[in-house]
Chains A and B, each alone.
Chain A
């Protein structure tokens, strides 16, 4: 490497995480090279003949892939899972480290109530069975950023088990072809994060940051392929995938790799692999980071975690000392699936639009604020929010919260459009002006740029007449029977009105004048 650089790696452990283990089955078409149509979830072979671009060769049967995910998600809490030190994104290295975090001898873990609540709520949201009693375990391995030599997790009896998540995916070429799928959730467990290693290759040093609070999501994917009806294949684990996009690419690649390997008479090794996102392929990891005996043992310093519901709550219990599942259930927000159904029902929205509104943080709230303030049709609002507004955000890589256009401004703009004060093309122009954020209201912009529709019919008649007079050859063309010539005339009139006239109105006037 030419330049000195710091490379950081997360060797597979995260702090204060709910760990969600999922199992789902993806079946694949034959390995004929055409499976890469880009979208996951379209890979269910039986219902999706379109991915079988070439027919299976004679005697060749389909392959089925089985994928299980281990999702590490950071809990949004003020302090760490087992210590009182703060959690801040991008804090200076080792600035948020308690004696426990540094594993000083004699320190003991103290469970963070907020993290337990978050885990229970996640379990409820994922339709899990919440274990009234769960246990903590130690998972041992030596690593420089694991100062205790073990990580506290919930291996044997986790806080929640046996859940499921239903979701919709579009199938086929039209986005409106949505089907509902279900993924099973095996368990949710609370787990302590490790630190972070920073490898300084130049000086062959490893620097350790024990803050342990960054990276909100990380996924390990377990993948195997087999012929339907036969036992499951040997699995590989692709570790440390930190975006949905890479996760999808890694799984697609790995399934294809395994199929190719088996088709060519090779065998699949039970190994740990990593995803090289630059090359788009998975590669085996060094052995010591892969399989090892973690020598699990009960964590003796944490008593069993007991949860209660309104029926089992011990009388006179201090609410600060107990966790009541029923009260947490009451605090659950409306779940995304319910929201999507409500949007479809309430606004007559297409299912894929309801999905799109929920896929972007803050977009639904933005949409609802606009709806509340405008008289425009919900369909119009949906279209503007999802096409124009979201388009601008995406183009500039902004979050909804960073948008220069407020819901009120968009609502006002849609009102102008709704009462036909401006044309849609003028509205787009106004929106662009709003995006520049010069503190003007849509009405001010319309006035300044003279974008309001020409309401004076006399003036429009006048303009039409002079346009016809100025372009006799187009009129001739029209009279010779070219139907498209009328569009040319409409365009010319619109140009003359500086885009302020409604094309339908222009057409009406022109036709009347031509026929008279």
Chain B
């Protein structure tokens, strides 16, 4: 059920914000084993719900999000609520301010249910590499997946074969997928919102760089980071984007032009659309199932009258290595502030300031983070800067120009896979290290961040295993609205099935007396 519809239900008094809040809190408890949340801000949420309730009673709600439960990835600063980045370095760190996006949601009356799990400092593509442990994909426990598994293999132990969510915003994706909130904030640097969205069967939007403020988002790569939006439908993503978008005086990279909240039109005619299919995205690693769904989607557009053409983004193959240089360099720089002095973890040693720095950073960061810091500092050394960093910047420009050329040739939106395949079991995933995994999994998503373009992953269908597969739409810079309009049309055509978690939820439904409202949250 769409946020705007819940908003109507709230206005009509069919349900109260407190009931909605308690319902989600109860689901959070019920699905605790998913490890989607690092911190559940129960008291805060209930208090916010109480205030929202007062507003609804008086008849003046703050907007569509008033009283709506949301979750926030644990790399956004939240005033008074611990913000860890799933790292020992920030364990216990309580920011004194809210990230701009968090503040905007709170100003709209949204209820903050908690902070969601991620890979340490958002470095990863599985949500498996944080100090609070991996996030489990709710689809592992879905009726759809379980039934297929029973057909396919009978011997394997079900519990040990749970699936990863993808990452790094896996906690947010799982939280939305498991109905514990209506929308969640993720972050997207190389695909961290779209990848878990695809694996968890939800919508994952990466807005244009500069459209949404990064102030308060603990950075991974400043020049590529964008706050991401995870929702259960495209309309909800548009609703949240309408609230978050716009200039922020605290972030000099945000656009100056004012942005107004918007509602997506329902497209009935796609005949004027030109959909580009980048040929370089047809890689050997692409699973046949994703490949065939991608073709099916292209055919769908074509059959409905859209122009579908093959296009070329010739520098795509350099994207991974280019990203590696730029990402690790900025990481090395951004992580320099974690020295144990002002905030966060500090080691016990006090031999010298230098020894304290070294021990603090060794204890505070995991191997992935330390590895990236090390590589990044190598690339930034005076003797390497020209050969690595400057070259990577040039390649980045070429990659960005690829997109410009394609869009200049008349393409409105690009259609690509989001991931190589459906979600894999954790045991399978950890056979490769984080770096290899990140390089593989970001292949379709990363170039978009280099170019600062908007992109959205929309769930299309279930695989033969009963797992969600998402496709990605990429739009022109700052044409987020057009992008979402196309995504909405597609969403309507494919009718992606709702996750069936009945077994998991059964004894929760008693919280609701009104059966209709039980479906409000469950559907």
Identify the A interface with B (CB < 8 A).
99, 102-111, 138, 140, 142, 144, 147-150, 206, 208, 293, 295-297, 300-303, 321
Contact = CB atoms under 8 A, between A and B. Distances in A.
B337 A296 contact: no
Contacts of A111: 252
Given A105-B337, A106-B218, A206-B353, A303 B253 contact: yes
A140 B329 contact: no
Give the secondary structure class of B's interface: loop
B330 A300 contact: yes
B380 A106 contact: no
Contacts of B222: 300-301
Nearest to A294: B382
Interface string B213-239: 011111101110000000000000000
Interface string B310-350: 00000000000000000001101101111101110000000
Interface of B: 76-77, 83, 85, 90, 93, 95-97, 99, 214-219, 221-223, 249-253, 256, 329-330, 332-333, 335-339, 341-343, 353-354, 357, 377, 380-382, 385, 389
A279 to B, nearest CB: 28
A153 to B, nearest CB: 13
Contact of B333 (A102, A108, A138): A138
A147 B337 contact: yes
Contact of A295 (B93, B337, B381): B381
Contacts of B342: 102-104, 147
Given A148-B336, A293-B382, A296-B380, A105 B77 contact: yes
11 contacts: A105-B337, A110-B250, A140-B333, A142-B339, A148-B336, A149-B335, A150-B333, A295-B377, A297-B333, A300-B253, A301-B252
Contacts of A293: 381-382
A206 B377 CA distance: 27
A147 B214 CA distance: 20
A345 to B, nearest CB: 48
A302 B95 CA distance: 23
Given A147-B337, A301-B253, 8 more contacts: A104-B343, A105-B85, A106-B215, A108-B253, A147-B339, A149-B336, A296-B385, A297-B330
A300 B393 CA distance: 12
Given A142-B357, A303-B253, A104 B97 contact: yes
A296 B377 CA distance: 10
A108 B336 contact: no
B343 to A, nearest CB: 7
A142 B354 contact: yes
Contact of A144 (B76, B96, B250, B353): B353
Contact of A108 (B96, B221, B252, B377): B252
Contacts of B93: 105
A428 to B, nearest CB: 60
B251 A108 contact: yes
Nearest to A107: B215
Contacts of B85: 105
Contacts of B343: 102, 104-105
A54 B92 CA distance: 72
Contacts of B83: 105
Nearest to B354: A142
A106 to B, nearest CB: 4
A206 B356 CA distance: 13
A138 B332 CA distance: 12
B76 to A, nearest CB: 8
A473 to B, nearest CB: 85
Contact of B341 (A147, A300, A302): A147
Contacts of A110: 249-250, 252
CB-CB nearest 9 A-B residue pairs: A149-B336, A295-B380, A300-B222, A300-B223, A105-B218, A106-B216, A103-B337, A106-B77, A148-B337
A295 B332 contact: yes
Contact of B250 (A103, A108, A148, A295): A108
Nearest to A99: B97
Nearest to A82: B252
A238 to B, nearest CB: 23
